[in-house]
Structure 1
Amino acid sequence: MIVQRRAVSAVLAAAALLLTAGCSSDGGEPSGADGGTSASRTAAQSSPPGSATEETPPAKGSVEVVRTVATGLRSPWGLAPLPGGGLLVSSRDEATITRVDEETGEKTELGEVPGVSPSGEGGLLGIALSPDYASDRMVYAYFTSASDNRIVRMRYDEKEPPGEQLGEPDTVLRGIPKGEIHNGGRIAFGPDRMLYAGTGESGDTGLSQDEESLGGKVLRMTPDGEPAPGNPFPDSVVYSYGHRNVQGLAWDDEQRLFASEFGQQTWDELNAIKPGDNYGWPEAEGKGGGSGFHDPLAQWSTDEASPSGAAFAEGSVWMAGLRGERLWRIPLKGTEAAADPQAFLQGEYGRLRTVVPADGDRLWLVTSNTDGRGDAKEDDDRILELRVT
């Protein structure tokens, strides 16, 4: 694992320390906030001036909740649909992976991932299936250890008894900075069969511009954790930089990558990712960052979004909001927004963590109300099946 050698300047590092104060967590709350929900499930919120919802009339779309697939999940974070049926779900705080039967809702625990150190926003986060899952049965996981964030892979053997179905973890990538906040955590295999990871700057804002650090980046690597062919920096897994906390990755029908990103106090972002580009943090947040920085294609106030998961379906990126407690639709035209974003399910299911494509016009949506920041109801957390247009 080698990244391009260009250290952040002392001036930038000093600015980073100043910006750390008052930054928001993955729920959109100030750092150190624990337990409180930021918005009622039924309270409507107006869009502030300059938000993404006031520029042009929105394109028409709709979301229908087809059914509740499963309930009673504890601190769910990542979701990976299995070929042939079944959904794997990670628990951030319990460090377990559970298989959910999408027809009956029955839950079977595969096992606990060893080495996970849950604390703050860290723990067992994103999961993904190997592109060769049919033959190797490998499940990849991103998690916070005692010393760093890392990516491992484990063989899933459903012939073993429940609770003992995960093999020993093989470390794919280590050394991603960890913190009480901003651990990133989303992983996904792209159309190119390479493994992508969204990371955070762990509260140390200078890391985002430091290309020697894996923090505050979108990473791209082979399934074995080596720098992927064609990466913008020689011998480096860094694909883009200048990010604050990336927790959503999605590809459109043309194999273009989009990433959702938590802002600090002003703007959350959806970015079109281009290899080697600088997305501005901590010197820029939202649009208009200036020369040398890649502007987001859409932005939101942090109380409207605090975005985690992202998925592409029916011509749009769909983005799950934590503090915003809503599902955003961003219709696309190339790498630009075709119209203003639309919000759905506002306040109906609480905090929304993960959204994953299903078949056709369907999405899987995971709530996040039992992680210490939400207003948990009796059946939380849950997986929903949605139909979208």
Structure 2
Amino acid sequence: MGPVRVKGRAAASAALLALSMVGACGVDRTETDATSAPVVTSTVASSPSGVPDLGAPEEVAQGIDVPWGLAFLPDGAALVAERDTGKILRVAPGRPPETVYQVPGVVARGEGGLLGLAVSPEHAEDGYVYAYFTASADNRIVRFRLDGPPEVVFEGIAKAGNHNGGRIAFGPDGMLYVGTGDAAQSTLAPDPASPNGKILRLTPDGRPAPGNPNPDSPVYSLGHRNVQGLAWDRAGRLFAAEFGQNRLDEINLVEPNRDYGWPAVEGGGGAGRGYVDPVVTWTTAEASPSGIAIAGDTLYAAALRGERLWTVPLVNGSAGVPRAIFEERYGRLRTVAVAPDGALWVTTSNTDGRGDVRPGDDRILRFPAR
């Protein structure tokens, strides 16, 4: 079946309880089922020219242990998180990967471990790197300099063997956005008192960001099942990738104070009941979308179970017909990001316990901008 287009366009618990928002489970599905233009992505705020040449792959690194988060330093090198080891690697073309940090306290079980990375927009001045990871009691976010200890900036996100979310990214407004999962407890997603099943919006030091729907809460949007992709288009609109359960995965255009329907709705059909419909859906076999990035007017989505890269044209916040490339060529794809020079970086995820491991896995690919 082809892609289906759907019309549409540590914070304390007490703070979360202050939020007042509009708020059918089946068999659970994990990740297994589950032209020249400015660029704005989930990992870098820059405007290089050119578009990625998807016909010119370059292997930047191989032998990486479950690469998950990827964020670029000002010099163009990437920091890459190894989910299961808790290590952060520095990766650059023409150089072997180098371990530059070990995040303490990472508990890697199931889909948990060291997940998303983000580099401070003021990194040249403050040196901060941010990481989302699964600890012994929860999922949390820390920040650190590569030569110093971590500082917890947000904690208390429920953890589970799956549905941990984990993508973090600085938006064009300089705030830190966080995609969380419902921790396999679907009732948490519409609950304004829980940080789970949400997109959170934080200041760089982890407080509720100014302009949030409720000034005392980090919650930006709710009703999400498992968000693992965040990216902004050239107009500053936020898109998110979300795992469905048994039928449909989603790309959503995210707006503040909106409910995206989980668990009442999977895929489209919720608009008449006050929910926001996705702009794109796929069957779960075709996608299981994790990381996303936007270059010019194209959204790129890395598919795990689908083992392909989806390209989605964007026009004024609406989505055109998606097109699949690299079907089964590289296996499971986890993260996609646009570098400061406009190149598209893609990571595989075949060593995560659910893929067919190929020689050299896991690898990081680079598609240069032309």
TM-score exceeds 0.5? yes
SS at match of 2:256: coil
| Residues 1:280 and 2:293 aligned together | no
Gaps in structure 1 of 5+ consecutive residues: 30-60, 158-166
1:88 to 72, 79, 82: 79
| Residue aligning to 2:309 | 327
| Residue aligning to 2:6 | none
Give a deviation string over 1:117-165, Cα, whole Å, max 9, x none: 11100000000111110011111000001111000001113xxxxxxxx
1:387, CA displacement in angstroms? 4.5
Matched residue type, 2:307: E
| Residue aligning to 1:64 | 55
Cα distance in structure 1, aligned partners of 2:351 and 2:21: 38
| Residue aligning to 2:212 | 231
| Residue aligning to 1:318 | 300
SS at match of 2:189: helix
SS at match of 2:187: helix
1:306 to 260, 283, 288: 288
| Residues 1:256 and 2:237 aligned together | yes
Distance 1:22 1:388, change over 3 A: farther
Cα distance in structure 1, aligned partners of 2:255 and 2:324: 26
| Residue aligning to 1:221 | 202
Which range is displaced more, 238-247 or 378-387?
378-387
After TM superposition, the score normalised by the length of structure 2 is: 0.88
Matched residue type, 1:315: D
* Contact 1:6–1:210 under 8 Å retained in 2: no
* Contact 1:26–1:322 under 8 Å retained in 2: yes
* Contact 2:101–2:146 under 8 Å retained in 1: no
* Contact 1:270–1:299 under 8 Å retained in 2: yes
| Residues 1:207 and 2:158 aligned together | no
Which range is displaced more, 227-236 or 270-279?
227-236
Give a deviation string over 1:279-334, Cα, whole Å, max 9, x none: 00000011112321000000000010000000000211110000000111111111
SS at match of 1:373: coil
| Residues 1:77 and 2:90 aligned together | no
| Residue aligning to 1:363 | 344
| Residues 1:348 and 2:329 aligned together | yes
* Contact 1:4–1:234 under 8 Å retained in 2: no
RMSD of the alignment, in Å?
Answer: 1.9
Aligned length: 339
Matched residue type, 1:24: R
* Contact 2:242–2:250 under 8 Å retained in 1: yes
After TM superposition, the score normalised by the length of structure 1 is: 0.84
Structure 1 vs Structure 2: percent identity of aligned residues? 52
Distance 1:136 1:5, change over 3 A: closer
Q: How does 1:1-389 map to 2 (within 5 A)?
A: 1=11, 2-5=15-18, 15=24, 19=25, 22-28=27-33, 63-100=54-91, 102-157=92-147, 167-289=148-270, 290-337=272-319, 339-359=320-340, 361-387=342-368
Runs of 4+ in 1 over 4 A off after TM superposition: 4-9
* Contact 2:331–2:356 under 8 Å retained in 1: yes
Cα distance in structure 1, aligned partners of 2:257 and 2:341: 32
Cα distance in structure 2, aligned partners of 1:193 and 1:6: 23
Which range is displaced more, 74-83 or 243-252?
74-83
Cα distance in structure 2, aligned partners of 1:90 and 1:118: 12
1:83, CA displacement in angstroms? 1.1
Cα distance in structure 1, aligned partners of 2:198 and 2:326: 30
Gaps in structure 2 of 5+ consecutive residues: 1-10, 35-51
Cα distance in structure 2, aligned partners of 1:234 and 1:8: 13
| Residue aligning to 1:163 | none
* Contact 1:314–1:361 under 8 Å retained in 2: no
* Contact 1:269–1:298 under 8 Å retained in 2: yes
